[in-house]
Amino acid sequence: MKKYLLTDHEKLQRILEATEMSRSDLARRLEVTYKTVYRWLDQKVTPHPAQSKDIDQLFKEYVDLRPVILDLRKKTQNPLQLLKSDLAIREKFFLEMTYHSNAIEGSRMTMAETQLAFKGKMARGKELFEILEAVNHKNALDFLLDHVKPGFKVDESFILKLHEIVMYNFPNKLPGKYRTGHVNLTNTDKALPSYQDVPLKMRALIKDFQQYGKDPIGKVAIAHYEFEAIHPFFDGNGRVGRLLMIAQLLSQGFAPTLVSIDDRYAYYMALGKADYGDYKNIVQMIGESILRGYALLNVR
């Protein structure tokens, strides 16, 4: 799967446009010769895969991805329409989204085993609860696509229903209900709100969900952080939070966000930085995951 829709040549050009780097500076940062950069930019020579990876990292470090994504929304097919009309793409979407989201939460299921679970088959060496987690997430995505449409507004009943589906057959997790006690998180030092405050905080956040303004990507990313900071459920907060981002983005004409298991620690780090008011990392990371969503769907 192509990771991003921008070519290496386009990424190099955008790095130069976004910074005060000269071509010589660019060559030094990428640890190549000036002549190599010249060949990439002026002769459109394709970089070696390892060099392509370095270009991509530099691109993500210096280029705000939001204008790139807004431009893609104008130029490409509507992802929601594509998911509703193309069965093969929808099935690929279900598989990738389920595998990565559950893996981030610690699932041991491979992509192939996740596909087996979708077909109602057991994967050797895996527990029943792991199979259920995969099937539940797929069903939640199915529910999401059945309900989301252009301009769709997330409300409390939609959020609770997503959680109910994700936690189906896990009664001790209170499917479809806010937590009724305290939870401890291992990846943050920030204190969570008391369970008594969760309904009020969630209603305020849901009201804020609808205000996308001129920066819809930033809005979705920061709303995702705020949802995770409330941590409204005993379990399933990460999976439901990522599903909500998918619903928001599709309703606004964007590709869904695919947060990869490979980015798990960077994702947690970005959420951690947001605890201290630094939202740049989470906004950029969600931007990257939206580009990955465009590539996943092969949007043209």
Least confident range of 141-145, 216-220, 241-245, 296-300: 296-300
Asked if 134 and 6 sit in the same domain, the reply is no
Q: Rounded to whole angstroms, how far apart are CA atoms 97 and 105?
A: 13
- For residues 122 and 233, state if they share a domain: yes
The residue segments making up the domain with residue 73 are 66-297
- The predicted pLDDT at position 3 comes to 45
Q: What is the pLDDT of residue 187?
A: 65
Tens of pLDDT, residue by residue over 100-114, are: 999 999 999 999 999
Domain CATH number, residue 33: 1.10.260
Lowest average pLDDT, out of 44-58, 81-95, 130-144, 224-238, goes to 44-58
The CA distance from 128 to 15, in Å, is: 48
CATH code assigned at 138: 1.10.3290.10
* Mean pLDDT value across the chain: 93
Q: How many domains does the chain have?
A: 2
Indicate if 107 and 78 belong to the same structural domain.
yes
- Expressed in angstroms, the distance from the first to the final Cα of the chain is 14
pLDDT bin (cut points 50, 70, 90) of residue 1 is very low
CB-based contacts of 267-274 (< 8 A; 24+ apart in sequence): 267/104, 268/187, 271/187, 271/188, 271/225, 271/228, 272/187, 272/188, 274/222, 274/225, 274/229
Give residue-wise pLDDT tens across range 184-204.
877 667 789 999 999 999 999
Spatial distance between the Cα atoms of 298 and 132, rounded to a whole number of angstroms: 29
Last residue of a domain, one of 38, 63, 88: 63
Report how far residue 11's alpha carbon sits from residue 19's, in angstroms, rounded to the nearest whole number: 12
Task: Using the predicted structure, report yes or no on whether residue 60 has a pLDDT greater than 90.
Answer: no
In 3-state terms, what secondary structure has residue 47? Answer: coil
CA distance 155 to 210: 9
Distance CA 11, CA 157 (A): 42
d(CA 98, CA 226): 22
